[in-house]
Chains A and B, each alone.
Chain A
Amino acid sequence: MAKREPNATPEAEVDMTPMIDIVFQLIAFFMVISNFEQTQADERVKLPRDALAKPPEVKVEHSLVLNVGFYRDMKGEKTDAQPWLFNFVDGEPVLPLSSGGQLKKEAKLFGAKGIDLKEVTVKVRADSEVQTGIVQELIKLCQDAGFETFAMSAMSGPEE
Chain B
Amino acid sequence: MARRRKQSKGEKLETNMSAMIDIVFQLLIFFMLTLKIVEPEGDFNINMPAQGKPTNPDEVPPFPDIKVKLRANPDGTLAGLFFGSRNLGVGPAAFEQLNIEILKVIGRPGDPITKDMAVEIDADYNLHFSNVINAVGACTGRVDKRSGNIVKYIEKIKFKPPTPQAAAG
A residues at B contact (CB < 8 Å)? 16, 19-20, 23-24, 26-27, 30-31, 33-35, 38, 41, 43, 47-56, 121, 123, 125-133, 135-137, 139-140, 143-144, 146, 148-157, 159
Which B residues between 24 and 40 are near A, CB-CB below 8 angstroms?
24-25, 27-28, 31-32, 34-36, 38-40
Nearest A residue to B47 via CB reads A149
Q: Does B112 contact A (CB under 8 A)?
A: no
5 A-B residue contacts at CB 8 Å?
A53-B41, A132-B123, A133-B126, A133-B163, A156-B39
Q: Which of A20, A50, A127 has the most CB of B within 10 A?
A: A50
Q: Which of B44, B49, B136 has the most CB of A within 10 A?
A: B44
Q: CA–CA, A54 to B50, complex, Å?
A: 27
**Secondary structure class of chain A's binding surface, majority of residues:** mixed
Contact yes or no, A139 B143, CB < 8 A: no
Q: CA–CA, A152 to B42, complex, Å?
A: 8
Contact yes or no, A129 B42, CB < 8 A: no
Nearest B residue to A48 via CB reads B130
Contact yes or no, A131 B76, CB < 8 A: yes
Contact yes or no, B45 A149, CB < 8 A: yes
Contacts of A51 in B (CB 8 A): 137, 142-143
Q: CA–CA, A135 to B159, complex, Å?
A: 11
Q: Chain B, interface size: which category?
A: 35 or more
User: Which 5 interchain pairs have the tightest Cβ spacing?
Assistant: A53-B42, A133-B125, A30-B31, A48-B130, A128-B130
Contact yes or no, A132 B42, CB < 8 A: no
Q: Tell me the minimal C-beta distance from A122 to chain B in angstroms.
A: 9
Q: CA–CA, A129 to B72, complex, Å?
A: 12
Q: CA–CA, A142 to B42, complex, Å?
A: 21
Q: Which of B20, B31, B76 has the most CB of A within 10 A?
A: B31
Which B residues between 113 and 153 are near A, CB-CB below 8 angstroms?
123-134, 136-137, 140-143, 150
Contact yes or no, A157 B129, CB < 8 A: no
Contact yes or no, B40 A27, CB < 8 A: no
A34 touches which of B20, B36, B41 (Cβ 8 Å) = B36
Contact yes or no, A128 B140, CB < 8 A: no
Contact yes or no, B128 A130, CB < 8 A: yes
Contact yes or no, A53 B44, CB < 8 A: yes
Q: Tell me the minimal C-beta distance from A2 to chain B in angstroms.
A: 18
Q: CA–CA, A127 to B130, complex, Å?
A: 8
Q: CA–CA, A34 to B44, complex, Å?
A: 25
Nearest A residue to B165 via CB reads A133
